A and B are shown apart, each in its own frame.
Chain A
Amino acid sequence: MTIYQEIILDHYRSPRNFGILKKPSRQVAVANPLCGDKLEFTVKEEKGVVKKIAFQGEGCAISIAAASLTTEHALGKSKEKLQNLDKNLILKLLGINLSPNRVKCALLAWEGLKKVVSD
């Protein structure tokens, strides 16, 4: 079965929350040098809650789709909750079974989110 399911292609072709926020509460960059993938996250928080979040960067379809889905998931959630986000949730959001080699593509966004909402 192909891992390029409709949901992944949709988020890859038109990623949600793509870009960079002006005057963010925090900004972080994460990279996977082995694939050359780079993602940058910006967040605006109010009273410990994610009000706005954005990402930009380059990567494979899986890492872009994962970042798009992850930011969608994070909107409106408390930082505290996101700090403890289970990585399996990202894999669940993608809705596919990834080979070990591609799991790291999906988890770059998870790493970025955890960093951008850290205290």
Chain B
Amino acid sequence: MDKIATIKKDFPIFARHPNLTYLDSAATSLKPLSVVNKIQEYYQEYSANIHRGIYQISEKATQEYEETRQVVTSFINAESEKEIVYTRSATEGLNLVATSLGSSIVGAGDEIVITIMEHHSNFVPWQQLAKKAQAKLKIIGVTPEGYLDLELDNIKYTNHISKIVNNKTKILAITYVSNVLGTINPIKEIIAQAKKINPKIIVVVDGAQAVPHMPVDVQDLGADFLVFSGHKMLGPTGIGILWGKQELFEKMPPYQYGGDMIKEVAIENTIYQDAPWKFEAGTPHIAGVIGLKEAIRYLQKIGMHKIHKREQKLLADALKRLQEEFGDNITVLGPQKSQDRAGVMAFRLADFHPHDIAQILDESHIAIRAGHHCAMPLHTYLKFSASARASFYIYNNDADIEKLITGLKKAEKTLTK
């Protein structure tokens, strides 16, 4: 039987809330029972600290914890487990790179390039680094259709990439998928052409909205760093991954200091562990790391390619149905071609305030998000103060789209003046 058809059964929250229509997976995903069980297994069966214990349950915990590195390595096709750093979140991964690498390679007069569609977590660390280093922060805009305003050799927009990236560009930090517009950026082409202009440029990819929803192969992309969060991909909160090239990790100073990241400490000096452990100071989120492995296995069982295709189909259905029902009254932000985007759908309905829309949907147990979605610069750029956002994941289906439409009709009826 098709696993996807019965998927809701794997998510205990639907047993507890049978009427729940969950359309906020871009904020955080729901958790399957297998992940919840795996976390419980650690706390009930081998809840010991890792790495230092000379006893069985600590060895078991260490083995489970380190095994996640192998699972992540093959999930994103990294070259080795040494390229996988456990962080608290995508946000912490970005801060780690900006602080540890950024402050050692960016100086006065240098340039950092980001885009206007970044989440605050891939915006503010670079803005602050640029300020501190007296470097220039350059921002790639978006076109009215919701694509990056960037002309590549094979894609035509107004700004050619050679006008943005130059020899002074030290870092290019860019999201793979926009958490508002849904746009899937042509990351591989951007990286290839940026590196052609400046082979020394460091490219940091925010994979928070990409890795949970589509196949991502870091070697194929040609990036230097990729970050993502476990909680958006069926895993626990408080655990994220920073993937980076080993030769870069080796040169980078630690981000935090403390236990577990050292080889030897003397009164005057300390010798650090090698990467990735050099970046993992203190007792980590052991249950989170172990739970993340189970989440990845769950996704792999379905297959990332299948997940991506199914979400795009759902998105295409949603775009079509919303258009049929609301016509010009609804504006879905971002590309209108579903193949260019992921299952994140921010929209405006008439001139209704997104908070009112979300609140009225909640009366029918439909969960969406309203606000600026941690992308204030993008909303300012689009001249919207806020938007409503519905987002899909593996447990959503066409019935959820119909419920959304019924809820929006109710909102329209209530809020029309």
Q: Which A positions have Cβ atoms within 8 angstroms of B?
A: 2-4, 9, 12-14, 33-37, 58-62, 102, 105
Contact = CB atoms under 8 A, between A and B. Distances in A.
Interface in B343-369: 353, 355-356, 359-360, 363
30 contacts: A2-B360, A2-B363, A2-B414, A3-B359, A4-B356, A4-B360, A4-B414, A4-B415, A9-B414, A13-B417, A14-B417, A34-B372, A35-B355, A35-B385, A36-B385, A37-B353, A37-B385, A58-B385, A59-B353, A60-B353, A60-B355, A60-B356, A61-B353, A61-B356, A61-B415, A62-B355, A62-B356, A102-B355, A102-B359, A105-B355
Nearest to A59: B353
B12 to A, nearest CB: 25
A37 B372 CA distance: 12
B386 interface: yes
Nearest to B351: A58
B388 to A, nearest CB: 12
B392 to A, nearest CB: 24
Interface residues of B, number: 16
Contacts, number: 43
B412 to A, nearest CB: 12
Interface string B374-417: 00100100001110000000000000000000000000001101
Given A33-B376, A34-B372, A58-B353, 12 more contacts: A4-B356, A9-B414, A35-B385, A35-B386, A36-B372, A36-B379, A36-B384, A36-B386, A60-B356, A61-B353, A61-B415, A62-B355
A36 B385 CA distance: 5
Contacts of A36: 372, 379, 384-386
Contacts of A58: 353, 385
B141 interface: no
B253 interface: no
A9 B414 CA distance: 8
Contacts of B376: 33
A60 B351 CA distance: 10
B207 to A, nearest CB: 27
Nearest to B415: A61
Interface string B190-217: 0000000000000000000000000000
A77 B207 CA distance: 56
B186 interface: no
Contacts of B384: 36
Contact of A35 (B360, B371, B415, B417): B371
Contacts of B415: 4, 12, 61
Contacts of B379: 36
Contacts of A59: 353
A62 B354 CA distance: 12
B346 to A, nearest CB: 14
A12 B359 CA distance: 15
A102 B355 CA distance: 9
B371 A34 contact: yes
A100 B384 CA distance: 24
A62 B376 CA distance: 22
B415 to A, nearest CB: 7
Contacts of B414: 2, 4, 9
A119 B227 CA distance: 52
Contacts of A102: 355, 359
A13 B414 CA distance: 10
A61 B415 CA distance: 8
A59 B371 CA distance: 12
Contacts of B371: 34-35
Contacts of B372: 34, 36
A20 to B, nearest CB: 20
A37 B363 CA distance: 23
Contacts of B353: 35, 37, 58-61
Q: Which 5 A-B pairs have the closest CB atoms?
A: A36-B385, A60-B353, A60-B355, A13-B417, A36-B386
A14 B414 CA distance: 14
**Which of A13, A36, A102 is the most central at the interface, judged by chain B CB atoms within 10 Å of its CB?**
A36
Nearest to A13: B417
A36 B376 CA distance: 10
